[in-house]
Structure formats: C-alpha cells, structure tokens
Structure 1
Amino acid sequence: MVAPSAAALFIHVVVFIVALCLHWSTFANADNYVCQPNAVIPPSPSLTPFVDRLPIPPWIDVSAGRLVTIGAYKITQVLHRDLPATTLYAYGTSAATATYPGPTLVAKQNIPSYILFENHITDSETFLVTDKTLTWANPANGGVPIVPHLHGAEAESASDGHPEAWFTASGEHGPKFIKQKYEYPNCQPPTLLWYHDHTIGITRNNVLAGLTGLYIIRSTSDEPDYLPRGTNEIPLVIQDKRVWANGSINYPDIGISPLIHPSWCVGYGGDVVLVNGKIWPYLEVYPEKYRFRMLNGANSRFFTLSLSNPALQWIQIGTDGGFLSSPIYLSTITLAPANRADVIIDFSSLAVGSMVYMNNSAPFPFPDANSVVSPPAVASSVMAFKIVSRPRGSPAQFSKVPTRLAVIPEPRYNLATDVYRSFIFNNQYDSNGYMIKSLINSEGYTDPLTESPKLGTVEIWDFINITPDGHPIHLHLISFLVLHQQAFDQDAYTGQRCHLEVQFGQPGSCFTEPPRNLDATQIGWKDTVTVYPSVVLRIWTKWSPRVGGDFPFDATSGPGYVWHCHVLEHEDDEMMRPLVVHR
C-alpha cells in the first residue's frame, strides 16, 4: 500500500472536520444533547410532579437453593402519567414480567443463591449512542452485550460480572467469559446490594437504559425483628434522566471533544428524578415508622436528600456493607452513585392528610457545579409522601429504632509491615482544555496489572484526587473501612513545590489541615466511597471475608476483579483498573 502524501492527508483531515461540523450542526439544530460547555441542552417536557404512585418492584426469593433465571429484555414502560411509553432494557423472569428497575432478589445469609442470567436483547446495537472510540466490548457480530455485576457481593470472579465477560443474545462472548450461571454464597453480613450491567465501555448506556435492580441479604439471627417490615419496608432506586416529549431518553449525541470521542460526555445530568422507575412519584404512608432501603443508581449524579418537614430526620441504620454500630440522626443524607443507605423515617407525629417532600440539593457536577462539563442540570424534587389513615381493622405495626446494631471493628494495621499503595486520580485534556479521559496513576483499564493483593492480608490505600470532580471509588470482592481524609494544596503539589508523605502520622508539606474525622458518608463498612477534589482519602482493606476465615470459593481463580470510579462516564473512559488476588 502506498502511503498518502502530506497534502492528501491534509485534505482528508479538512474534509473530516467539515463533515463533523455539519454532523454536529445538524444534531444541534435538531435539539439533541450536545455535551459542550454553554450548549443549550433541551429540557425534559414540563411534567406535573407527584401524580404517579410509587411502584414497588416484584420480590423474588432466591434462597431456596433452586436455579432462578433472570433475563435482560427490551421493553416499554410508562415513566410518567403524561408521557408515552419509554423504550428500555430491563431485567425479569420473562419478557412479560421484566421491569425497570428489575425484581428485588431476596437472599438469606449463608444460603447460596444460583442465578442464570440470559440476554434476550436482539437489537443490532444499543438504542443509546455507543462511542466506539472508547475501549468497549465491540462484538464482531453486533448486538447489545451485557454482563450483570452484583455490586458489593463477596463472590468468585467468574460470577462477579467482569467487564470483559459479556455475552450477546446471539451467543457471542467476551474474552473473559466463563459462564452465565452465577453463584453467590451470601456469607457476608445482611445488607442491601444491587445488580447492574457492567459491560466494558457501555456500562453507562446499559444502566441508563434500565439494567439495574436490588438484591437483599437477610438474616433472621442478626437483624432485629422490631425494625419496620412487610409493607413498611420500602425499596427506593433513585436515578435521574432527561426525556423527550415522545418518552424516549435524551442522551448525548455529541461529546465534549467530538474529534477524539464523538459522543462520550464527562458526566450525564438528568433534569427529572425517577424513583423505582417513575418520575417524581408519591407514596402513601401511615403515621408510623418506615424503613427505606435506598440506592443511588444514577450514572453521575450525587443526591443530597432532605425532608421538607423539619420535624422529621433521616435515622440511618445501615450503609453499603450493612448495619452501623448505632443509628445516626441526620437532616440530610448524601448518596454518591452506587451508595446505599438503610434509613428509618418516623411519620407518627404527622397528621393524616399532610404531605412530606423528599428534595435534593446536591450540585451537578459534584461537589462544585460548573459549566465545564455541561450546563448544570437541576433536579431538586425527588418524591412525596402522603400521610393516610390505616384501614379500619388493620392493626398498626409496632416497630422501634434500635440503639445498638452491629459491631464494627477498630481497623488494625502497621505500615512497617502492611502493604501501602497510593493512587493519584488525574485527567487528560484536549487542546481546548476539555477532559477526554479519567485515569488512575495516569493508567487506564488496559494498562498492565499493578494491584494484586495477597489473600488474608491488610493493605492501606491512599486516594489522591487532583481533578475537579468527586470520585466514588468502588472495590470489587471486599468491603473496606475509611480511616481519614485530609486536604492538601493541589497547586503546590502538582507544581512539585511540596510533597505528600506516605507514612501514617507524618503529614507532608502539602497538607493544609490535620486528618479529619469521618463524616456521615464515610462511617461503617463501605464498598464505594467518595474522594473529594484536593483531598487524600485513606482506606483500610483486608482481603478476606467480612466474617473472617477463608472465602468459600477460590478468589484467585477466573478472570479476576476490577476497581473503578462509579461515575459511569468515567468508568467507561478508562477510570477502571484490573485487580487480581493471589495466595
């Protein structure tokens, strides 16, 4: 093949740019989502809030030891009374029963569950734009690849939903695929997990399209029987979207740096909030205590949730990894993407007929709203509670808030003998200063393995954030404890005018404060924690089961695990690293 001349190359480049500009202009004029600073993103149509009843996804018991089949299907579902049905991808036991969010799977501690995941989505490609310049599944025969990940589970890597273990409806498999019949031992303490798609390069597409659901591990021995239960225990899957008047999802068509990534956007911000698949729903509650199992299932949006009645508080009893040591009483509760919270709200002091609104005040992007990513999307309303009387003859439910819940150990470590690792979160930018990649230690997903902990050992990890965004960092296989966070002078650090010491108790010259005590988002067992800009956050990890002993599976086998940012747009563009444990 003859190499083209410089002149010919120049002509090709000019033609490509002109064509792209015309393409861009066409989409912009069509009011599509253009992920550019100061671009006018079409809002969702005006919709009346609090007119749709909160749906409760179906519950499926997976603790009987039998194989349960969960498929992914293309469905339509009405997200608001005043919208036509929306095209979605959803989990269910059949096409007729598939819902967004998917069914809540209920397991019991120490009883394994067996789930066969199937892909029945026959589209030639996802109905949301796929940016094929990213590292992504790219099935040779087309189709929509999926791979479910049970977020927060202690499971073998072959059942963990490795991003390269994807499979299509036609039977094509990713390079790390082993099986579709997953086994979950459920040996960890009782808690709320969630399952969602984890396909490399299109996790953001598939989760936004609807592939998400809750998974609860229960224990009759460890869980107080006087907590709100039955109809007073409510799952809440909170997400944001933008929608068109025809009901379809408004998702970026033109990226922030389209010459590099045609449609990838730094973050996705919706202007309507959905709870359990409905936009701004309402829930009728009796003047009693209710337990809410809450998940932030959004792609990028953080939620800082409050209640409109000042007489009410969030009574938080659990976090990602299960129960706290004792309840904490909060006026607001902040959930990063993938965070869960187990909370009680006591409505008993409220009069029948009154209303309470759940609101959101978290900026977008988080923690500092700006127009560098895209114009901030307002999503202040979440849902409403209507206080109603119990039907005559229906006895009130007795419940109370426990004072003690779980024993959380004091993390023990020795930096002279335990492994210490530090990670710098940094971005790459194009010539216009627009972000094009999120990295960890300047490395992406395809760079060589650097994290290979030894089973049973303790490691101390420092996360150093020199980006403008908060990053919710998620580790597969284990939960961890946060030790502290500490602010530093980022300009001086990146200018190499100071340093950050790696030894505990010896603050470097870059730090601007002593280590802070943990805030409400950092206490208890975590599998996802937010690292704020210009902050070093230190976590304690132990590469063994929460309950002690050995994993009931070979954690060193299979394709291995990953760890990553749970802003899905970041995860899909390289802010994910391989993780393999060894003996």
Structure 2
Amino acid sequence: MFAISSLLVSILFLQLQSSLPTQAAPLARESPNYEPFQIPLPIPPIKKPSTTYTDPKSGIPIDFYEIEVKPFEKNLFPGLGKASLLGYDGMFPGPTFQVEKGRETVIRVVNSGERNVSMHLHGSFTWDGWAVDVTPPGYYKDYYHPNNAARTLWFHDHTDGITARNVYTGLAGLYTITDTALETRLGLPVSSPYDVPLILTSHFFNTEGGFAEKADEKNSIFGDTFMVNGAVAPFMEVEPRRYRFRVLNAAVSRSFTLGLVDGEAEVPMSVIGSDGGLRESPVETNKLVASMAERWEIIIDFTPFASKSLTLTQTNTFADDSYSASPTTPLLQFRVGNKVSSQTGNGPLAARLLPSSSLSVTTKPVRERKFELTSHMDSMWQINGRSFADPNNRVLMSPPLGAVEKFTFSSTGMMGRGSWTHAMHLHLVEMVIISRNSSDGKGRSIVEPYEAGAIKDVVTLGDGETIEVLARFIPWTGIYMFHCHNLVHEDNGMMGAFNVTALPDFGYDEATTALEDPMDEKFRAKKYEGTDLERVSTEVLPAFRALGAY
C-alpha cells in the first residue's frame, strides 16, 4: 500500500513539475504584434482635494479627496478595439496624488464597480490595506494618512483573493510625498514637466484588444506586452537637460531589468531614490532591476543627446519566464529636442542628498527570523508552511515596537524546487538589504550598488536566491501584513501578518492607540449616499484629527 501511494505521489509530482514553467526557452507570444513608438506617453492627471480642514491647535492641514472605483472602456492596444477596465476615477493608471510632506490626507474611496475593493497606500506609515477589510459595491471607506516622510508611494487594490485581478484590470496609481524646500535646495526637478512618473505594467492581450482573461491563474501573470503609464511602447519628447523619473513596477508578476540605449551604446542613469525616499548619495548604473511594487527615482541627463532618440528597454535576466522572442524589448522612446526652456532643477547632481540613515547594515538586530517561501501541489503559496487563507494562523510574529530584526527570506519552491521570483513586502516597515546569494547559479549573488544602503519596503528574491535584510518596526503598534508582491502568489496564500506588540491576543481588546485595529467597526465601509463637503469639513476631518493617531 505504501509503495503504491509513493508511486502515485511521484507520478503526480512529475506531472505537475512538467507543467510548471521553466527557463529553457522563450514561450510563444500570446498577444498580437505591434509597432512600437506610435503613442505619446500619457501623464496621469494630478488629483485635486475637494476641501481642506486645518487643525486650530497644531496648524496641520488635512486635505480631503474623493476617488471613485468604476468600470470603463478604453483603447489600449494599437489598431484594435477597446479593453474593459476597472480604474480609480475611471482611468488607467489612476490619477496621481501629489502631497507636500506634513499635510495629512483623508481619501474617500467610493466603490461604483461590481467587485469588492480594498485600497492600500503602499509605502505609507498607515494601517490601511488589510485584505479582508473590504468596501463592497455601493459602499465607501475613508482612509487617513499622515504623509510624514517624503518618498514615492503608490496606491492599489488589496482585496483578499482578487488583488491580482483588480490590479491587472487597472486599480493602481502613483502617490508622491514631496519635501519641496529640501529637494529644491538639492537642485532636483520637483514638478512637471521635468519630474515624470513611469508606471510599468505587463499584460496579455486578446485579438480584440482587451486584456486576456487570467482570473483563474494560480502561478503568475507575467504578460508579454509591456505598458508605460497605460500605453504600449509609447514615446516621449524631452528637452536636452536633466529629468527626474519616478519608476514604479505595478505589474502583477513581472520583474523588469531596465536599460537605456543610444543605438547599441548604453547610457547611464543616476539612481537617487528608492521605496523609502532619497538615497544618501546618487549611484550611477547602466541596468536597473525593478521587481513587483518597487519604486526607483532616477535622473537621466539628455544634454549630450540633442536631436537624437534614446530607448528605455526591458531585458529578461533572472525573471521567471520570457515571453519575448527577443532578449531585449523596447519600453519607451525618448525623442530629444534641441532647446531647453527652463534651467530649474537642471544643475549638477549633488554628491550627497541626505544624512546617513539610522537604519543601516551595521545596526545590531535584537532577533533573527527565517522565512521559507514555498509552493505546493495544490498551487497554494505559503510562508513557513502557513497561508493567509487560515484566519486563525495568520500572525507569524510579534516584534516589539521599535525593534530591529534580521530576516532571511529563501525561495525553496515546490518540494525543494526553486525557479520563482518573489518580491517580499512588509506593510509599515522599512528594510535595508544585508546580502543576497544564489543557491543554483541562476540568480544573483550580489546586492546591487543602488540597493546598498537604500531604504526599502520591497526586497526581491530571484530564481533560487536567499536574501538577508534588517527590518525596523516603527512608528506604530498594531496588526500589519507582509506578503509576496507577485499578486497571484499573494492571492493564493503567500501572505501573513505581524503584530507590533500591543495586541498580544490578536483580539484587538488591548488597543492603545486609535488605529491599531484594521477591522475597527468605526472605520469600516459604509453605504454611499453622496458626500456632504460641509459635513466633511466640520465633522469628518476634525474627528480624524482628534484621534491623535499621528
């Protein structure tokens, strides 16, 4: 009996293993072909507040925004029909929030769609995005954000079980917090047209021009057609001067290795910022790996390239699968003019941007933890053998507030099989990378120079890699999630929670601050019957400020 059972298990394992993707050869392209550089790069509009309340005691302003989740149609693929999308304010990507450091915000999300949603401001020191805190169709929820650190964030859906589907069909946008005085003093571009978002996504298209249906995918949605700001391989007209680009990888499962070329010659980029804001110093690089949910701020100097065209490219390296017949795919063409209309933010790049961070690889951790990222024959993804699908087994650790801990993440795949890329994201928490090593030679065994010392909230493990990081648990107590930002993996279990200790029983009875409980009934979604801005100004915003949460 045992021999028969063992034989059946072996057969099933071999069958499943043979069905999993490998890196032996590029897979056939599923989407129609296209001619690149036919569409100008769209720039998402800036979202404007509806009203503002200023706290009379502190003088801190709170801006109120309302954003609507709604279905819409738009032509995305050149020469084909419209795609059915779900977007914030009916656009893809959503509008950009541009907030000055120190101005608080309340964002009212109104769900006019047909599925549950749950918005997460990724990279913010807030408690939002708890996956089962959903806003049903016809409801709204108010989200309160402190905006107390300048950095590039993004907002996206985080609904349990359907995050990949919601983000894939459009629920993502950029959110920037700017320290205008500091960045102007550093000589950086701080506004349009020289401070530009580049939101990268990857999709499969059908022959009609819509997104190919991938709702039942259990492994990854890599995509074979790349988009920038919602356009397939667009072009951008630039002046021969310095530009600041805020690069966001908003793809569901695809990692990008970016390069800039003049013909066949590589053109360097200067990395000035990461997930956690500006670096201490710029780092020059010819290649930039941007995995799922990572943000990088870069400076490109077009001064030497007047009247020429440069190309931003994607190269498949350690990413899980290649759907491209060519090893390099064009993403965006820069058409450089011959006239500069403004010298603002066009001076030499400062050698030093910020003082040294209090979190560095020399910080001594108070504890070490190891996390194995695995997949199983039922296509469930797990962290240390546990899945978010089990509500009684979600909390994997309870670090004390203010603690610095060492984490080791390793990708062991299915029954010891590797070859998956994971982008591990911790809500609330800042991280620095100590080391990265490859067990099978397929991945990297280095910390990239632009990663070294950078403050991160996402760290990437390529094929067969192990990564060590330091994580600092500040500034709030409460329950937060951590997960793989391959959203298919997240939806299928590769997500857990950590309890920054003040709630040891996970029952929320011992909450000591206003926003520890992600399921607090006071802040749950409510039926939407319109918005009274007078009431928002006189009741809603003062009530949030009175919490003393930030």
What range describes the TM-score normalised by the shorter chain of this pair?
A: 0.7 to 0.9
Give the C-alpha shift of residue 465 in structure 1: 2.1
**Distance change >3 Å, CA 322–CA 375, structure 1 → 2:** closer
Pair 325,574 (structure 1): closer, same or farther in 2 beyond 3 Å: same
Aligned to 2:305: 350
Aligned to 2:285: 330
Does residue 199 (structure 1) correspond to residue 159 (structure 2)? The answer is yes
* Residue 278 (structure 1) aligned with residue 240 (structure 2): no
The alpha-carbon deviation at position 42 of structure 1 amounts to 6.3
- Partner residue in 2 for 1:104: 96
Residue equivalent to 2:509: none
Match of 2:492 in 1: 573
Q: Tell me by how many angstroms 1:489 deviates.
A: 7.4
CA contact (8 A) 1:147 1:166 kept: yes
Question: Is residue 2:202 matched to residue 1:240?
Answer: yes
CA shift in 2, pair 1:378/1:414, >3 Å: closer
- The structural deviation recorded for 1:36 is 7.9
- C-alpha distance 109-341 of structure 1, shift in aligned 2 (>3 A): same
Shift of 1:414: 4.2
Q: Secondary structure at the match of 2:205?
A: coil
Q: Using the alignment, how far apart are the partners of 2:197 and 2:26 within structure 1?
A: 36
Q: 2:330 aligns with which of 381, 386, 407?
A: 381
Does residue 367 of structure 1 match 2:328?
no
Q: Which residue of 2 aligns with 1:87?
A: 84
1:20-31 superposed matches below 5 A: none
Q: Secondary structure at the match of 1:463?
A: strand
Task: Report 1:467-482 matches (<5 A).
Answer: 467=413, 468-482=419-433
Q: How does 1:84-483 map to 2 (within 5 A)?
A: 84-92=81-89, 98-121=90-113, 123=114, 144-155=115-126, 157=127, 160-171=128-139, 180-188=141-149, 190-225=150-185, 226-229=187-190, 230-252=192-214, 263-309=216-262, 310=265, 312-352=267-307, 354-363=308-317, 366-367=318-319, 369=321, 380-390=329-339, 394-397=341-344, 398-406=346-354, 407-409=356-358, 410-414=360-364, 418-429=366-377, 436-445=379-388, 446=390, 447-467=393-413, 468-483=419-434
SS of equivalent to 1:570: helix
Measured against aligned partners, the alpha-carbon deviations of 1:146-187 in whole angstroms (never above 9, x if no partner) come to 0110011101x2xx111001111144xxxxxxx811110011
Deviation, structure 1 residue 39:
12
Residue pair 1:522, 1:529 contacting (<8 A) in 2 also: no
SS of aligned partner of 2:87: strand
CA positional deviation for 1:264? 2.5
2:182 is matched by which residue type in structure 1? D
Per the alignment, do residues 526 and 542 of structure 1 end up closer, same or farther by CA in structure 2, a change over 3 Å counting?
same
Q: Give the drift of 1:516.
A: 5.4
The answer to whether the 8 Å contact 2:483/2:495 transfers is: yes
Q: Which residue of 1 aligns with 2:471?
A: 541
Instruction: Read off the aligned partner of 2:200 and give its amino acid letter.
Output: I
| TM-superposed deviation, 1:83 | 2.3
- Distance in 1 (CA, whole Å) between partners of 2:173 and 2:458 is 17
Q: Distance in 2 between matches of 1:273 and 1:399?
A: 33
Instruction: Report if aligned partners of 2:48, 2:65 keep a CA contact under 8 Å in 1.
Output: no
**Paired residue secondary structure (2:380):** strand
Q: Any idea what the Cα deviations from partners look like across 1:463-488, whole Å, max 9, x if unmatched? A: 12212212110000121111223445
Deviation for aligned residue 1:518: 5.3
* Shift of residue 47, structure 1, vs aligned partner: 1.7
Is 394-403 or 278-287 further displaced after alignment?
Answer: 394-403
Are the aligned partners of 1:369 and 1:376 in contact in 2 as well (CA < 8 Å)? no
Q: Partners of 2:20 and 2:209 in 1: how far apart?
A: 20
- Aligned partner of 2:435 in structure 1 is 484
Letter in 1 for 2:284: Y
Q: Compute the displacement of 1:215 (Å).
A: 0.3
Do 2:21 and 2:321's aligned partners in 1 also have CA atoms closer than 8 Å?
A: no
CA shift for structure 1 position 528:
0.1
Distance apart, 1:220 and its partner CA: 2.5
The percentage of counterpart residues that share the same residue type is: 28
* TM-fit CA distance, 1:351: 2.8
| Shift in Å, 1:99 | 1.3
Q: What's the CA shift for 1:390?
A: 3.5
One-letter amino acid of the structure 1 residue matched with residue 279 of structure 2: L
CA distance in 2, matches of 1:476, 1:573: 18
Alpha-carbon deviations, 1:189-246, whole Å to 9, x = none? Answer: x110000000011111000000000000011343244212431111010101111232
Inter-partner Cα distance in structure 2 for 1:428 and 1:461: 23
Say which SS state the counterpart of residue 396 (structure 2) adopts: coil
Q: 1:575 to 1:185 in 2, by over 3 A?
A: same
Residues 45, 286 of structure 1: CA spacing in aligned structure 2 closer, same or farther, 3 A cutoff? Answer: same
Match of 2:71 in 1: 74
Question: How many angstroms apart in 2 are the aligned matches of 1:487 and 1:274?
Answer: 30
- Contact 2:408 2:467 (8 Å CA) reproduced: yes
Residues 65 and 114 in structure 1, CA contact (< 8 A), matched pair in contact too: yes
How big is the shift at 1:46? 2.2
With over 3 angstroms needed to count, the CA separation of the structure-2 counterparts of 1:39 and 1:350, relative to structure 1, is closer
**Counterpart residue type for residue 208 of structure 2:** N
In the alignment, the residues of structure 2 paired with residue 236 and residue 321 of structure 1 have an alpha-carbon distance, to the nearest angstrom, of 17
Secondary structure of the structure 2 residue equivalent to 1:65: strand
- Match for 2:34: what amino acid? L
Bigger shift: 466-475 or 48-57?
Answer: 466-475
3-state SS, counterpart of residue 292 of structure 2: coil
- How many positions carry a matched residue from both structures? 455
Unpaired runs of 5+ residues, structure 2, are 1-18, 53-60, 414-418, 503-550
Return 5+ residue gaps in structure 1 as ranges. Answer: 1-33, 93-97, 124-143, 172-178, 254-262, 431-435, 491-512, 546-550
Measured in 1, the distance between the counterparts of 2:26 and 2:240 equals 46
Amino acid of the structure 2 residue aligned with 1:344: I
Structure 1 248/119 Cα, relative in aligned 2: closer, same or farther at 3 Å? same
Per-residue displacement from partner, 1:490-537 (whole Å, max 9, x unpaired)?
A: 9xxxxxxxxxxxxxxxxxxxxxx9x95554345400000012344332
Q: Which amino acid aligns with 1:118?
A: V
Paired with 1:488 and 1:245, the residues of 2 have a C-alpha distance of: 41
- Contact kept, 8 Å, 1:35 with 1:252, in 2: the verdict is no
Separation in 1, partners of 2:334, 2:489: 34
SS in 2 for 1:223: helix
Q: Which has the higher strand share?
A: 2
The 2-side partners of 1:297 and 1:246 are apart by: 24
**1:28 maps to what in 2?**
none
Aligned residue identity for 2:349? V
* Inter-partner Cα distance in structure 2 for 1:164 and 1:395: 48
Counterpart-to-counterpart distance in 2, 1:377 and 1:182? 44
1:88-120 per-residue CA deviation (whole Å, 9 max, x = no partner) reads: 11112xxxxx31000110112122111111101
**2-side partners of 1:244 and 1:368: how far apart?**
22
Distance 1:476 1:377, change over 3 A: farther
Question: Partner letter of residue 219 of structure 2?
Answer: V
Q: Distance in 1 between matches of 2:324 and 2:239?
A: 40
Contact 2:431-2:457 at 8 Å conserved across structures: yes
Residue identity matched to 1:165: D
Separation of aligned partners in 1, 2:468 and 2:160 = 28
Distance 1:343 1:472 in 2: 21
List, as ranges, runs of 4+ consecutive aligned residues in structure 1 with deviation greater than 6 Å: 34-42, 374-379
Alpha-carbon distance in 2 for matches of 1:522, 1:376: 33
Q: Given residue 133 of structure 2, which amino acid in structure 1 is its aligned partner?
A: A
The secondary structure found in structure 1 opposite 2:490 is: helix
Shift of 1:448: 4.1
Residue 63 of structure 2 contacts residue 104 of structure 2 at CA under 8 Å; is this kept in 1?
no
Q: Measure, in 2, the Cα distance between the counterparts of 1:221 and 1:231.
A: 18
Q: Is the 8 A contact 1:485 1:518 kept in 2?
A: no
SS of 2:236's partner is strand
